[in-house]
Structure 1
Amino acid sequence: MYNQKVLSIILGGGQGSRLYPLTETRSKPAVPIAGKYRLVDIPISNCINSEIKRMYVLTQFNSASLNQHIKNTYHFSFFSSAFVDVLAAEQTIHSGDWFQGTADAVRQSMHHFLQHDFEYALILSGDQLYQMDYNDMINAHVEAGADISVGTYPVNAKDATSFGILKTDKDNNITSFIEKPSSDLLKDWKSDVSDEMRSQGREYLGSTGIYIFNRELLIELMNDKTTVDFGKEIIPQSIGKLKTISFPFEGYWTDIGNIDSFFEANIGLTDDIPKFNLYDMNQRVFTHARILPTSKISGTTLNKAVIAEGCIIQAAMIEKSVIGIRSRIGKETTIINTYMMGSDVYESLEEIESKHINILTGIGERCFIKNAIIDKNCRIGDDVRINGGKHLKDAETDTYFIKDGIVVVKKGAVIPKGTVI
């Protein structure tokens, strides 16, 4: 089994500005998804399911909540070599800079990696939603005698302009690569894909940012301080010089790069047969075990709703929405096409009275919420109307943010009674 010889390096990404305001107080991998998980749980769970149990998560922005989540979640046997450690950007004698790119993040952290015995480095992104057995990719890498393997995913012409696009020969060797090509260049970049992918118009091989490097090669590449990014520099420069192969993946995969894709990925979980399967016991998604009570629902019509644990719901209707842990929703409220992340704690009656809290955590009575993301610990008063959609212009206030018609209520925001957005 090659997986015992693998060290996994999960890249936490930069400032996460395209996911703002969800990344205003937390790093991208710590953003809550599906009502009870965090984005970083996806690559970590894929590693655990693939029997890869030595993982580093690299981050540099707002890493406190990520540290806390990983510390509280991933406990392995005292007699095991398994670990999940967070490495935040740190000043050392050799470097005083922030991470300048994906390769630079790995370079600055190499002294930590080299304390471990490994033959293959598996480099992953902390902001993608997919389920994958990495052993398939590792086996293909070893059997091909590859120096570098790149996980690839067929994309359509519209999405291809946002990806590194590559072409391969019949043996999956990567022969050419272009970073984010303009649409007029695409006609020359079609690849031979399966009939199913072709029928969906997905004929361009996009790089997923999932890489395997042989240990000695990674050390050699990291000694060259002129390169700072894998996708833009190291992969293109390796083609023709090193045996660089493509590992095609055709399951569900999405890059949670912006508010729109984040919203779609979460609302997609309400489909009858979601593309991302949280119910597969062979590919379980692990997260913090909170020991919460069951959810209590009174007088609510539910249609395509995903409800996490510990909720107290009296809404009139919830439709095509994901309701996160410890959510409280008042009477006669309607929620449509919304992701509510929930709360970190419950408010006690004593606390409400002693602090004179007049807008409780959660959503009040007689509200109408549509096309929205409600971040953690928000307080939405009675009779609030949030009607997101393309009719709304992009905007930002102290309490909410509008992007592509989606209204994002900021973490901990208080929306006064009767507010209309």
Structure 2
Amino acid sequence: MTSKVICIVLGGGQGSRLSPLTATRSKPAVPIAGKYRLVDIPISNCLHSGITRIYVLTQFNSASLNKHIKNTYHFSSFSEAFVDILAAEQTPTSGSWYQGTADAVRQSLHHLAVHEFDYVLILSGDQLYQMDFEQMIENHIKADAEISIATIPVHANDVPGFGILKTDADNLVTAFVEKPKTNFENWASEVSDEMASQGRYYLASMGIYIFNRSVLYTLLQGNERTDFGKEIIPQSIDSHKVLSYQYEGYWTDIGTIPSFFDANLGLTDDIPQFNLFDKNYIFTRARMLPPSKMSGTHVDKGIIADGCIINASHITRSIIGIRTRIGFDTTIENCYVMGSDNYQTLEQIEESKVANTPIMGIGDRCTIKNAIIDKNTYIGNDVQINCGEKLEDGDYGTHTVQDGIVVIKKRAIIPHGTII
């Protein structure tokens, strides 16, 4: 059945909630887990499900995403498989940027028209989960549905942050409300015994949809509705057969700095909720990097990516990304260090030492806690980050603070002895 499916991954808007990580890159291109990009998650789920025709829609800072897609997803010349970028473009029928999720798909329909397909799978580019879409598609076809929505049971405390669906005994959606704040007790739906035992009675939309081709074209053409969650889905419930597909695995929206931080550090748990070591592994760019080298370092709950040179004293509950260099007697605790895009030469390192300026990476005798270190940063010796009282939220030039998490910006230079 997956041969009849084409997929659209929505790259999201400006990604302001993930700023400053999205200052120079689109949201799907943000590095995750030390060696992947966010866009690798939905694409990997598709490929493991047998879906091999994928468009990624984006409009902000798309250069690095284009480069990643081009260098990563290669298929046989004899295959119809592809992963292509569709950036917002001006055409005779549209001269504006994407105005929402539905508008982005509407403006891209002419690209889909050259392919044969019966179903369109629409995904978000900023979620962490592992799902077999083939099962969802089979369920959609078996129920003779026109639209399917992936839903996840949530607790009452989580309801105000989601679009909530009400279903009947056949899992057909009978009502929809967007992020209700009060009086939602009557919105509980039928869930499994396991979900009920956890108090998760409310079905939240995951932003994952399947549309029959003809239905999608009918709903999008000839109107100005711009968003699936706020307009298309709620207004289709009475006129179309809309099915809920309940998913009970791990899923999280990582559209904010705190959720992004928690999702990454959660990967260091002994048995993480999102399993990087599953048979359905994540596809990403194949880099020809050397193995990582560590000397005198005690690591407790750490993930170390390829090509690192580490002399730190302690690394605790942290992810260390590709090509990271960490100096002697340095302590890293509860951090995501994204790494570097290249190595400095020995000559460049020596020049920096003579000039008494930081080298790329993290210097000697540093203590860094509860921080995200973006790529290609230069952190000097004897630097302390987030080691004292809780910092005030704000932008401080080389770094920002959100909910107590310090984010060192890409290519920032932090001089020797700095205390943040």
TM-score range, shorter chain: over 0.9
Q: 1:277 aligns with which of 266, 275, 278?
A: 275
1:357 to 1:147, Cα distance in 2 relative to 1, 3 A:
farther
Q: Residue 267 of structure 2 aligns to a residue in which SS?
A: helix
User: Structure 1 CA distance, aligned partners of 2:141 and 2:307?
Assistant: 46
User: Structure 1 CA distance, aligned partners of 2:262 and 2:255?
Assistant: 11
Q: 1:349 aligns with which of 346, 353, 359?
A: 346
User: Structure 2 CA distance, aligned partners of 1:116 and 1:357?
Assistant: 59
| 1:36-55 aligned within 5 A | 36-55=35-54
Q: 2:335 aligns with which of 335, 338, 346?
A: 338
| Matched AA of 1:378 | T
User: Structure 2 CA distance, aligned partners of 1:389 and 1:71?
Assistant: 43
2:146 and 2:212 in contact (8 A); partners too: yes
2:317 corresponds to:
320
In the alignment, structure 2 segments of 5+ residues that lack a partner are: none
Is 1:293 the equivalent of 2:290? yes
User: Structure 2 CA distance, aligned partners of 1:357 and 1:410?
Assistant: 21
| Matched AA of 2:199 | G
2:62 and 2:87 in contact (8 A); partners too: yes
1:388 and 1:406 in contact (8 A); partners too: no
1:35 and 1:307 in contact (8 A); partners too: yes
Deviations 1:195-228 (A, max 9, x none): 3222333221100000000011111111132210
2:357 and 2:415 in contact (8 A); partners too: no
Q: CA deviation at 1:157?
A: 2.1
Deviations 1:245-272 (A, max 9, x none): 0000000100011001000000000000
2:405 corresponds to:
406
| Matched AA of 1:129 | L
User: Structure 2 CA distance, aligned partners of 1:124 and 1:227?
Assistant: 18
If the length of structure 2 is used for normalisation, what is the TM-score?
Answer: 0.98
2:256 corresponds to:
258
1:137 to 1:370, Cα distance in 2 relative to 1, 3 A:
same
Is 1:102 the equivalent of 2:101? yes
Q: Residue 183 of structure 2 aligns to a residue in which SS?
A: helix
| 1:375-386 aligned within 5 A | 375-386=374-385
User: Structure 1 CA distance, aligned partners of 2:157 and 2:391?
Assistant: 24
Q: Residue 190 of structure 2 aligns to a residue in which SS?
A: coil
Q: Which moved more, 1:345-354 or 1:33-42?
A: 345-354
User: Structure 1 CA distance, aligned partners of 2:131 and 2:389?
Assistant: 34
Q: Residue 270 of structure 1 aligns to a residue in which SS?
A: coil
Alignment RMSD: 1.2
1:26 and 1:66 in contact (8 A); partners too: yes
2:178 corresponds to:
179
Q: Residue 208 of structure 1 aligns to a residue in which SS?
A: strand
2:147 corresponds to:
148
| 1:298-309 aligned within 5 A | 298-309=295-306
Q: CA deviation at 1:98?
A: 0.5
1:160 to 1:215, Cα distance in 2 relative to 1, 3 A:
same
1:173 and 1:245 in contact (8 A); partners too: yes
| Matched AA of 2:292 | S
Deviations 1:86-106 (A, max 9, x none): 000000111000000000000
Q: Residue 34 of structure 2 aligns to a residue in which SS?
A: coil
2:134 corresponds to:
135
Is 1:369 the equivalent of 2:368? yes
Q: Residue 246 of structure 1 aligns to a residue in which SS?
A: strand
If the length of structure 1 is used for normalisation, what is the TM-score?
Answer: 0.97
1:388 to 1:207, Cα distance in 2 relative to 1, 3 A:
farther
| Matched AA of 1:17 | S
1:329 corresponds to:
326
| Matched AA of 2:322 | I
In the alignment, structure 1 segments of 5+ residues that lack a partner are: none
Is 1:125 the equivalent of 2:124? yes
1:167 corresponds to:
166
Alignment: residue pair count:
418
| Matched AA of 1:166 | L
Is 1:191 the equivalent of 2:186? no
| 1:51-70 aligned within 5 A | 51-70=50-69
Q: CA deviation at 1:331?
A: 0.4
2:8 corresponds to:
9
Q: CA deviation at 1:185?
A: 2.0
